Structure 1
């Protein structure tokens, strides 16, 4: 029993603390020693697994990890004969570090982590590193995503991401890129990559790549927490930052309603809206209002507005799909790409007709390997009464997803093709139109064009 508890706790701490620990250690070791910092984190987790199974789980597992990791980093410094340079810090770090259950000052620990993470985010988004590599490095180092998860974020292969990370770290070592926070002007220039990284982190949590975990609440919470940290800094508290935080709040407000008690996906039209978090919706409205002003409108403003449309609708039938389609059309002009086009096509199918949605989907190129594209095609074929094509599309989509929950949903859709009543109400302007077919169209899952998932 203890072994299982330890294994589960270590897995939890790895997801929550590994990136933070690496950020703290790189402040001590120097950013050029990023690989060493990550090795120390791994060694510390292995030591915890062994020690806790033998001596029991400490009262403060996180503090235990930071204490042991710092001790290992200090040993590494001594080994490289840097003790004199770091002697003052060593003196502080060694205080009360020799017990199994250390009691670190919580305010010192939290302040250090926050500061280190902000430094790490901006360091990873250094302009000397190619833009996509900046984001991949941030997601891997600070956020703890796997190579596969990052590849899914970019809709590319693991080999491509591995090469990007290798080249980025090689450039960091060769050019001795410093971890020091950049000057205000430089921070402003890095904000786009920083916000993009947080967006993809949240998106991976909201629609996880994990086969048995549709939502990773820890990633969503981490993205929100880091975005809040940015709003607390006068330089990084921008209109875009607030708009992104508004989007996060709107999306996170629906998390509890998206999964049933048995782990099945609950589509937007079937969700119990009383489970939507009113406090998060209110926070989303607040940050969206705070992001307004001036002539600047970003992709985050548009996406937050789209998410806000969903939260305002008391029922699925009352959703203003016409406005959502218009907003996606604006987004497509600002950030063109196949994923935004996918969401626009889905919104078009709801605001006009299934045939309009199908026609728009067929015009999109580059998503033949994206399962949500085929799932959306299947949904609109089902609504049009074409069961043969709907089944073909669902089969194609099922073969392209690793998620068990999504495969189960696709299987359910297929089983209902011939048995359910296919009458569905689509709200359009001031009147209602009736179309045949069961609606369960999905939009984007992970995207590099900032679009949200459509009618999940």
Structure 2
């Protein structure tokens, strides 16, 4: 008999990879006015798997088992609801679901592999309707299509679970009232709508790469999910946009360094101290391939430039040999596209390496009054580093202590405390 840990791990993997696809298919069957019904069927299927596999073991094809179970539960619901107004059977795709003669074969057609990916992408794009706020779009995709819990989504947004629940309710109400029909956008719409999808994927990746509230700085399950979502866009010919290739390259470059970022004791290791022999050369090579593939069309996105910056770090033999001049050029280009204070803050670190602490301090003072960074831990952590290099220990400690109060990441807090201890000793 297989261990409960093996069963739990198998289910958790399936949940991340397949729950969104099942929800998308079930929403197509039940309609967007019945999103919760679709989610409930998926949850029931997962519970059935947990209960059954405990005694019978994991089946040879767990994905097929889960799909079949969800399909059968959906059939039970359709039989019970066929005389009610809960499901709109007047829709041409659902008319055949009301007859026992055509119910099974029609349901089988919904669950064909070649249609499932289309339904999944269609639902992702439906979430990007212009009448839904960007934050609600991203929240809904993370929760309903990516298998994230309300708590995990709240963590990604640095907000409360109650706020996330309200966003989800408003989005579901929007779908319910308007009965939006999910579809992959037309060519003239696809670029703009893909921007929101990519923002969601990047937000997910950043939460996995640098978890904001978790005791573990790196959450490989979230990283894997983000990369998988991006790959799902690249696997569809209509969504093979240059920005998608660029984001894939960026995520692979960062992921290649994951194993060197954390010590065996779970402590954060700065880029300057990382063992570059631990960097995954295969992922760097794949990232370079995707970056080259992104070089088409007239679009130059922030993902292209961020990927170019990450690539410079990946190919450098050591921290001291990093091509900071090239990276500074990329940051200046990035600021022309998006005058983001966080980008400017990261640029100050490049200035620190190129021109020293005093020049970096002059640079960072240009944004000291910006509201976005006034409560951002990295702003104070960088100021601490600058003052430490300027041999201003009291100022450095003060800034590090402010940074500690503003981050909920325990590995980051421990790193900052180690810096303080180094100064005081």
Q: Do they fold alike, i.e. is TM over 0.5?
A: yes
**When the two structures are superposed, what TM-score results if normalisation uses the length of structure 2?**
0.85
Could you tell me how far 1:92 is from its partner in structure 2? 6.5
Q: Name the counterpart of 1:85.
A: 96
Structure 2 CA distance for aligned equivalents of residues 233 and 8 of structure 1: 29
Structure 1 CA distance for aligned equivalents of residues 14 and 216 of structure 2: 17
Q: CA RMSD in A?
A: 2.8
Q: Name the counterpart of 1:434.
A: none
- 1:65 maps onto 2:66 in alignment: yes
> Structure 1 pair 238/306, CA: closer, same or farther in 2 (3 Å)?
same
Structure 2 CA distance for aligned equivalents of residues 243 and 262 of structure 1: 33
8 Å contact kept, 1:30–1:179: no
Q: Name the counterpart of 1:40.
A: 41
Residue from 170, 174, 194 that aligns with 1:171 = 174
- 1:225 maps onto 2:228 in alignment: yes
Could you tell me how far 1:372 is from its partner in structure 2? 2.4
Higher helix share: 2
8 Å contact kept, 1:26–1:34: yes
* Aligned partner of residue 41 in structure 1, secondary structure: helix
Q: Name the counterpart of 2:400.
A: 394
8 Å contact kept, 2:119–2:182: no
Structure 1 CA distance for aligned equivalents of residues 79 and 382 of structure 2: 58
Structure 2 CA distance for aligned equivalents of residues 356 and 131 of structure 1: 37
* Aligned partner of residue 126 in structure 1, secondary structure: coil
8 Å contact kept, 1:240–1:298: yes
Structure 2 CA distance for aligned equivalents of residues 11 and 68 of structure 1: 17
Could you tell me how far 1:222 is from its partner in structure 2? 2.5
1:263-290 Cα distance to aligned partner (Å, 9 max, x none): 2222111111122122221222222222
Q: Name the counterpart of 1:20.
A: 21
1:360-411 Cα distance to aligned partner (Å, 9 max, x none): 3342422233222222222222222222222222222223333232222222
- 1:414 maps onto 2:420 in alignment: yes
> Structure 1 pair 171/79, CA: closer, same or farther in 2 (3 Å)?
same
Could you tell me how far 1:2 is from its partner in structure 2? 4.2
1:286-310 Cα distance to aligned partner (Å, 9 max, x none): 2222222454311111111111111
1:316-368 Cα distance to aligned partner (Å, 9 max, x none): 00112232223222212211223222212222222222233334334242223
* Aligned partner of residue 316 in structure 1, secondary structure: coil
**When the two structures are superposed, what TM-score results if normalisation uses the length of structure 1?**
0.80
> Structure 1 pair 151/271, CA: closer, same or farther in 2 (3 Å)?
same
* Aligned partner of residue 235 in structure 1, secondary structure: helix
8 Å contact kept, 2:204–2:223: yes
Q: Name the counterpart of 2:86.
A: none
8 Å contact kept, 1:125–1:138: no
The gaps in structure 2 that reach 5 residues or longer are 83-88
Deviates more, 1:80-89 or 1:221-230: 80-89
1:220-244 Cα distance to aligned partner (Å, 9 max, x none): 2222222223223332212212211
Q: Name the counterpart of 2:77.
A: 76
8 Å contact kept, 1:149–1:209: no
Structure 2 CA distance for aligned equivalents of residues 72 and 210 of structure 1: 37
Could you tell me how far 1:311 is from its partner in structure 2? 1.1
1:102-146 Cα distance to aligned partner (Å, 9 max, x none): xxx9xx55x454333212211211233223322222122222334
What pairs up with 1:6-405 in 2 under 5 angstroms?
Answer: 6-81=7-82, 85-86=96-97, 88=102, 90-91=104-105, 109=113, 111-154=114-157, 156=159, 158-362=161-365, 363-364=367-368, 365=370, 366-405=372-411
Q: How many residues align?
A: 407
> Structure 1 pair 17/318, CA: closer, same or farther in 2 (3 Å)?
same
Deviates more, 1:259-268 or 1:57-66: 57-66
8 Å contact kept, 1:24–1:113: yes
Structure 2 CA distance for aligned equivalents of residues 57 and 89 of structure 1: 29
